[in-house]
Chain A
Amino acid sequence: MNETHAPEGQSAAKISCRGVTKAFGSKRVLTGVDLDVNVGESMVIIGGSGTGKSVTIKCILGLIRHDTGSIKIDGQEVNSLNTREREEINRKFGMLFQGGALFDSLPVWENVAFGLLHARKVPRRRARDMAVEKLAMVGLGPDVGRLSPAELSGGMQKRVALARAIATEPEIIFFDEPTTGLDPIMADVINNLIVEITRKLGATALSITHDMASVRKIADKVAMIYGGKIIWSGSIKEIDRSGNPYVEQFIHGRADGPIQMQVRRL
């Protein structure tokens, strides 16, 4: 059932989780997540709502402190880091938030250049040029840079957020539900951009989604989370013959199967 270990012949894991648990009060959300993401690989975690996808990614990012278990980034254990060391590790990260999480007090270009300006101390003029360059990579013109995030449509906001996530050319990029709330065409545009950009940067990617079209497009490897645990993982090619009833129910979107939703019958 559990096939989470690194495939043969691959280099060391970029991200490695072992037995990660997290509870909020009496609610146990993660019950022992084991996950390896190798260098340059695009891993997608799939799973239903409330199964612990977001909490897993937030624990790895350091936004939530996990209770027990080990999380290693490039072999370095993150449990024992102080704030400054944590900030150093975070420099390797880029994150695309589900709702974009753009800073509405800043114009678009400053949003994109934020990491360059504040964490990398790039001069404003140079940072602005680099922001325009990144906006072009996601298909937005330089004039968009002057607008405020509130003036953009949902799809454009997502693209700006993507430009911000890649602006510092991070080693690891996280995508939290990158296509949620977008129309199918814009969703495909975003999927293509994710594939193209992670390849171009040679970055490692960790995404969470429940959109199977997105999974098939962006994933090299897939891990399915259920009940706060990774219950199956394997390459994208294997997903249709996983032999795992949970995975099969999920990828075919069936209401009947081992995963039972808490729905009260009328």
Chain B
Amino acid sequence: MKLDLRLNPLALIGRAFLSSLSSAGRLFFFTVESITHCVRPPFFSRLLLNQIIEIGYYSLPVVGLTGIFAGMVLALQSHTGFSRFAAESAIPNVVALSITRELGPVLAGLMVAGRVGAAMAAEIGTMRVTEQIDALKTLSTNPFKYLIVPRLLAGLITLPFLVLVADIIGIMGGYLVGVYKLDFNATAYLDNTWDFLEPMDVISGLVKAAVFGFLIALMGCYHGFNSKGGAQGVGAATTNAVVSGAILVLVFNYVITEAFFSR
């Protein structure tokens, strides 16, 4: 009987539908509760600072490396394409636009989802399975305020700064390839970068970054907080945090681009 139910495709679809509805509901209430705790005292400013350092400062090398290679390869590839119809002068602008609007926020977001989202899920998940979250409650400390809020705010605040760094280093990567490999004039390259870059290109990227930072931290915290079943549960939480964080980054990248630039 049980086996039949498992093999019945309608039952399978129904079960998947119901379970996705209940996960969506759980995530919704988790998000609402987290946000209400973000605006209600007490605040743990020391923990917020720790998280800003953890997410921001320690992600700088990985975000910088991603930025410089993205900028370099972008200059090389666009040179291949644009030289076919003698439009090399557009390369600096294409590099700047692509980096600030898309590659800076998306690549930094994906790298941070891997580095920070995973760490958050593993840490909070371990705290859950070793009863440390229960211990927080018995010590009259709200786990949302102590664990979740500092991470969400730190994600929201630091990712725009990281993306700004990725933007600058990415454009520099394009400049290095342009000037030293493709024989651009250094001044002309920079002029071409600045002349066509509009504030909105950079701002849209930074808004994306703030949203990505919040979403990555939210996924890390949510999956960690709801993990169960020992080491295996924590492993699954970590995987889910990274995968869902990365997917949300890509989905919201499209949504925000559409909101900013579709006419």
B135 touches which of A58, A91, A95 (Cβ 8 Å): A95
Produce 1/0 per residue, B119-146, CB < 8 A to A.
0000100010011101101111110001
Judge whether B140 and A118 touch: CB under 8 Å.
Answer: yes
A90 touches which of B123, B131, B140 (Cβ 8 Å): B140
Judge whether B142 and A95 touch: CB under 8 Å.
Answer: no
A250 lies within 8 A of chain B by Cβ: no
A87 lies within 8 A of chain B by Cβ: yes
How many angstroms between the C-alpha atoms of A104 and B122 in the bound complex?
13
Produce 1/0 per residue, B189-213, CB < 8 A to A.
0000000000000000000000000
A119 touches which of B130, B131, B141 (Cβ 8 Å): B141
How many angstroms between the C-alpha atoms of A93 and B141 in the bound complex?
12
A99 lies within 8 A of chain B by Cβ: yes
Judge whether B146 and A118 touch: CB under 8 Å.
Answer: yes
List chain B residues, Cβ under 8 A from A61.
Answer: 134, 137-138
How many angstroms between the C-alpha atoms of A147 and B146 in the bound complex?
22
Are A119 and B138 also in contact (CB < 8 A) when A99-B131, A101-B132 are? no
Judge whether A118 and B138 touch: CB under 8 Å.
Answer: no
A11 lies within 8 A of chain B by Cβ: no
From residue B248, how far is it (CB to closest CB) to chain A in Å?
Answer: 27
Q: Please give the number of chain B residues whose Cβ is less than 8 angstroms from any Cβ of chain A in the complex.
A: 14
In this complex, the interface size class of chain A, counting residues with CB under 8 Å from chain B, is 20 to 34
A97 touches which of B134, B140, B142, B146 (Cβ 8 Å): B134
Are A62 and B137 also in contact (CB < 8 A) when A83-B142, A87-B142, A118-B146 are? yes
A115 touches which of B132, B134, B139, B146 (Cβ 8 Å): B139
How many angstroms between the C-alpha atoms of A95 and B134 in the bound complex?
10
Beyond known contacts A97-B134, A115-B140: 19 more, CB 8 A cutoff? A58-B134, A63-B134, A87-B142, A88-B140, A90-B137, A93-B138, A97-B135, A99-B130, A99-B131, A102-B132, A102-B135, A104-B132, A114-B139, A115-B139, A118-B139, A118-B141, A118-B146, A164-B139, A174-B138
Mark B residues whose CB is within 8 Å of A. Answer: 123, 127, 130-132, 134-135, 137-142, 146
18 contacts between A and B (CB under 8 A): A61-B134, A61-B138, A63-B137, A83-B142, A90-B138, A90-B140, A91-B140, A97-B134, A98-B131, A101-B130, A101-B134, A101-B135, A102-B132, A114-B141, A118-B140, A118-B141, A119-B141, A164-B139
